[in-house]
């Protein structure tokens, strides 16, 4: 737009005779160069503006890519955090499962041992019951089992005369059968316990029921040892009248309290 205006001004000057031809040509060249410079500047400015616009578009595009990358990074971090939490939870559950498996194995082992022990006790009980079948049937002997402890109970009249601590013939025969059964018992202590009623002994050889009950228990221990029971498993105890199984208020009840108990208990 400026070049035609400059030329027009120069033409006007030339027609009025205000300038010489040489000056006119110089001014025309100057105007042409100026116009060219302006055009070059305009082109450069337009190119710069285009470049700036391209850069702005590129920056916007990069901003979008950065936002997308940030979103993906956040998602990846969330997944990583969730994955780590899941892994920790899985490790904890595996640890709990291992502990439960260990406990199950221990309990299974204990159950197997308890079952084996029960079967063993049942076998021992059955052997004793079979060996003493007739005596149990005749009411001379009672056999019981409670909490792993097996007890053979004998009435004192089967073993001893009144006020005596010497085992009689009938008692020796019964103790021999019991000894045969006890020889097969393993891992048990055999404790012979003597019990009396509350009637005083009257002095003499046994000043009190303590001495009488212990002497009778010792006599049974000797009979069992003589019949072949390992003496390292045997022991004797006397309880006198102090562990009755019935009230000492009748002849029948006092007879129940006068007894020998052979107790088989785990070592």
DSSP string, 225-245: HHTT--GGGEEEEE-TTSS-S
Per DSSP, the three-state class of 132 is: coil
* β-bridge partners, 2: none
Phi (first) and psi of residue 263, to 5 degrees: -105, 130
pTM across the whole model: 0.56
Percent of the chain with pLDDT over 70: 89
- Cα distances from 32 to residues 5, 35, 135, 243, in angstroms, run 11, 5, 150, 143
pLDDT score, position 218:
97
pLDDT score, position 27:
74
What's the mean pLDDT in 81-109?
86
Instruction: Choose among 194, 266, 259: nearest CA to 233.
Output: 266
pLDDT score, position 104:
84
132-266: CATH homologous superfamily? OmpA-like domain (3.30.1330.60)
132 has pLDDT over 90: no
What's the mean pLDDT in 161-176?
90
pLDDT score, position 17:
52
138 has pLDDT over 90: no
Cβ neighbours of residue 14 closer than 8 Å, sequence gap 6 or more: 21, 24
- Cα distances from 229 to residues 121, 185, 264, in angstroms, run 18, 10, 13
96 has pLDDT over 80: yes
261 has pLDDT over 90: yes
Residue 242 pLDDT class (50, 70, 90 cuts): very high
Report yes or no: 174 and 138 within 8 Å, Cβ to Cβ: no
Q: Tens digit of pLDDT for each residue in 178-189?
A: 999 888 787 889
What's the mean pLDDT in 41-65?
85
235 has pLDDT over 80: yes
191 has pLDDT over 70: yes
pLDDT score, position 113:
65
Burial readout 37-59 (b: 16 or more C-beta within 10 A, e: otherwise): eeeeeeeeeeeeeeeeeeeeeee
pLDDT score, position 229:
94
Report yes or no: 180 and 186 within 8 Å, Cβ to Cβ: no
The number of helices, as runs of H, and strands, as runs of E, in the chain is 7, 5
């Amino acid at each position: 737009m400026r070049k035609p205006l400059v030329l027009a001004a120069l033409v006007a000057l030339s027609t009025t005779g205000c300038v010489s031809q040489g000056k006119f040509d110089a001014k025309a060249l100057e105007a042409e160069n100026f116009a060219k410079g302006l055009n070059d500047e305009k082109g450069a400015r337009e190119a710069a503006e285009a470049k700036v616009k391209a850069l702005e578009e590129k920056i916007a595009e990069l901003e979008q890519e950065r936002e997308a990358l940030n979103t993906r990074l956040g998602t990846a971090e969330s997944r990583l955090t969730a994955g780590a939490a899941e892994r920790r939870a899985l490790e904890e559950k595996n640890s709990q499962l291992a502990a439960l498996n260990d406990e199950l194995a221990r309990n299974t082992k204990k159950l197997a041992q308890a079952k084996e022990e029960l079967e063993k006790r049942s076998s021992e009980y059955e052997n004793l019951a079979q060996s003493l079948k007739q005596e149990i049937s005749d009411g001379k002997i009672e056999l019981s089992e409670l909490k792993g402890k097996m007890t053979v109970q004998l009435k004192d009249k089967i073993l001893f005369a009144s006020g005596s601590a010497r085992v009689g013939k009938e008692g020796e025969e019964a103790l021999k059968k019991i000894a045969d059964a006890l020889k097969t018992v393993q891992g048990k202590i055999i404790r012979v316990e003597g019990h009396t009623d509350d009637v005083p002994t009257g002095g003499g050889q046994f000043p009190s029921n303590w001495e009488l009950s212990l002497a009778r228990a010792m006599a049974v221990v000797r009979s069992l040892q003589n019949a072949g029971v390992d003496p390292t498993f045997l022991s004797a105890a006397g309880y006198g009248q102090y562990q009755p199984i019935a009230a000492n208020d009748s002849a029948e009840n006092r007879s129940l309290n006068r007894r020998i108990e052979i107790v088989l208990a785990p070592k």
